[in-house]
Amino acid sequence: MFFIPGWLISVLTFPGVMIHEWAHKKYCDWTGVAVHQVVYFRIGNPAGYVVHEKPNKYNQIFWISTGPLIINSLLAIVISYFATQTQPESFLYYILFWIAISSGMHAFPSDHDAEHIFNESKALLKNGGSILHYLAYPFYALIWIANKLRFIWFDLWYAIALVSFGGLAI
């Protein structure tokens, strides 16, 4: 594998970055957490972000942090399905597949997002917690591993798997 700077990947896959941040924003809205600022895309690290108030409940932290995994993954599948319904080799065909791939590539929560779930679960387990809070440990590990494997293009392979699934769901 070869190295491509993260900022360049973000520029080439900016629709996925924007969908990722939109997903965070929507889950803030849906869970009643006030949003103070949203940057859907910029050149830099991070490529986008959402500044919101501190969630009061575990389910708010969970859904806001995992929102992009759910929405970006679903959109990668759905958009790739619609791409297969267009004229092959048309401009729309390629645009839809590009958006689907970029959405899938930016599906994984950041380590920072996963840490929110992990830390809150740890705190709640000290006071009893539930089985769901124990599930944060393997979830955090999987997200951490997925993010560390980006150097071998794991995010691209995940996106290709989603797009393949969407394209096969004819």
Residue range 52-56: mean pLDDT, rounded: 95
Q: At what angle do helices 111-126 and 58-84 cross, to 10 degrees?
A: 140
Residue 129: per-residue pLDDT: 82
| Confidence grade of residue 1 (pLDDT, cut at 50, 70, 90) | low
Residue range 67-81: mean pLDDT, rounded: 97
**H or E element in which residue 39 lies:** strand 35-39
Task: State pTM to two decimals.
Answer: 0.92
Q: What is d(CA 140, CA 116) in angstroms, rounded to the nearest whole number?
A: 9
In the chain, % of residues over pLDDT 90: 82
State how far the alpha carbon of 137 is from the alpha carbons of 5, 62, 85, 123, 143, in Å.
30, 13, 40, 12, 10
Q: What is d(CA 31, CA 6) in angstroms, rounded to the nearest whole number?
A: 31
Domain boundaries, the chain: 6-168
Residues 6+ apart with CB under 8 A from 162: 73, 76, 77, 80, 100, 104, 107
- Give the sign of the dihedral formed by CA 53, CA 58, CA 59, CA 64: positive
What is the average pLDDT value for the chain, to the nearest integer?
Answer: 93
Residues paired with 51 in a beta bridge: 37
Residue 21: alpha-carbon gap to chain centroid:
8
| Predicted confidence (pLDDT) at residue 2 exceeds the cutoff of 80 | no
Task: Enter the tokens of residue 107.
Answer: 């599906």
Residue 128: per-residue pLDDT: 86
Q: Of 72, 69, 62, 158, give the one whose Cα is nearest residue 115.
A: 62
